[in-house]
Chains A and B, each alone.
Chain A
Amino acid sequence: MPSPTFTPLANITLGSAAGSIVLTSISQSYRDLILVWNGKSTQASGSDLLAFQINADSASNYSFVRMTGDGSSAASYAANASTGGYVFIGNTSSGGANVIYQFMDYSATDKHKTILGRGNDAATYTTASATRWANTAAINTLWIFPNSYSNFAAGTTLALYGIAS
């Protein structure tokens, strides 16, 4: 029997600039999580990255690979022993970016967690990424922040959805 899903779990709009967004006590009742971010970094120049960390783990327990296009060339980069996952989001001068992270099988405890990412910033990069958090624990907390440690601009939005199992 089909069951409706894609359930909103959080919906945040920043009324003022903020250094991060933290989602805690994430329900364990779903199969996947989808995080949709839309906004800007306040970094003055250069391309910022939308970073995430899981369950307050800031150690080098992540690895990622990304593929980018900047309008003139395509490139790929990978890092093992990273401290988070990252997708390009431009800076304060760009028109804004959106990012979708898909946390697959987030509540399972029989595997490391794989996160697929898509980032779109018309001023800088389009990005596809895959990140692995080398931990079999279920995900219950997400910390989302600009990698530059500047701020998210006022008006930035973030939504989290649960996909049924």
Chain B
Amino acid sequence: MLIPFGVFSAAGSSVANSYELISTSIVGAGGASGGIAFTSIPQTYKHLQVRIVMQSLFTGNTSPALLYLNYDSATNYSWHYLRGDGSTVSSSASATVNTIENQRFPNTSSTNIFGAGIIDILDYTNTNKYKTVRSIAGYTGGGSQQVALNSGSWRNTNAVTQIDISGYNGLAQYSRISLYGIRG
């Protein structure tokens, strides 16, 4: 039985339709300064997965993918990462911040070069616990490269009904973010 990364249902599971596409957003011309939002998320799944291919509109450097749950921008999040940049492995954390950062994505100065990430939001409808998030993300090109494993927490027991994803200054054209539901 095959267990794909980031997905908590097995391929060929006896549960029909256990991994479903809920919505896809593709950023059009001009970019999306406010990022992308998935609203009114169905509460009928066990876990959620967000699949990202993006550039940010940040002109200074690379940008993390910024994750907000239920449009909460207060300091109710924490995160850790383990990151390799091609020469060193590093780790960092923030305990009381206003978003979960998923490391890291290029900007538009790198033509055709997008980063990719996969974020799992586990037990998202459960009102007995804080919400735990894990992700993998990476990019190469434009003079730098990085791959990172990330974990995050939203200190709120509410079910997740909205997900907002952005980068510093927003998302560039052709960025794609898809939301999937996993039944349990």
Contacts and interface: CB of A to CB of B under 8 A. Distances in A.
Contact of A5 (B20, B87, B176): B20
A163 interface: yes
The winner among A34, A67, A159 for most chain B CB atoms within 10 A is: A67
A31 B24 contact: yes
Contacts of B149: 67, 128
Given A8-B12, A116-B116, A67 B20 contact: no
Contacts of A22: none
B137 to A, nearest CB: 8
B80 interface: no
A100 B4 contact: yes
B38 to A, nearest CB: 12
Interface residues of B, number: 48
Given A3-B20, A4-B20, A134-B141, A67 B178 contact: no
Contacts of B89: 67, 74-76
B139 interface: yes
Given A2-B42, A5-B180, A114-B115, A76 B88 contact: yes
Given A3-B20, A116-B136, A129-B138, A104 B51 contact: yes
Nearest to A159: B2
Contacts of A67: 82-84, 89, 147-149
Interface stretch (A41-49, A105-113, A148-156): A105-113
Interface string B28-55: 0000000000000010000000010100
B93 interface: no
B112 interface: yes
A115 B116 CA distance: 8
Given A112-B141, A114-B53, A116-B138, A65 B20 contact: no
Interface residues of A, number: 48
Interface string B1-43: 0101101000110001111111010000000000000000010
B24 A128 contact: no
Contacts of A5: 19-21, 180
A115 B141 CA distance: 13
Q: Which 6 A-B residue pairings sit nearest by Cβ, starting from the closest?
A: A130-B138, A78-B86, A67-B84, A76-B84, A65-B145, A4-B17
Interface of A: 2-6, 8, 31-32, 34, 36, 38, 63-68, 74-78, 80, 100, 102, 104-105, 108, 110-112, 114-116, 118, 128-132, 134, 136, 157, 159, 161, 163-165
A10 to B, nearest CB: 12
B145 A78 contact: yes
A7 to B, nearest CB: 10
Contacts of B102: none
Nearest to B117: A116
A110 B113 CA distance: 10
A107 B26 CA distance: 14
Contacts of A116: 116-118, 136-138, 147
Contacts of B136: 116, 118, 128
A15 to B, nearest CB: 19
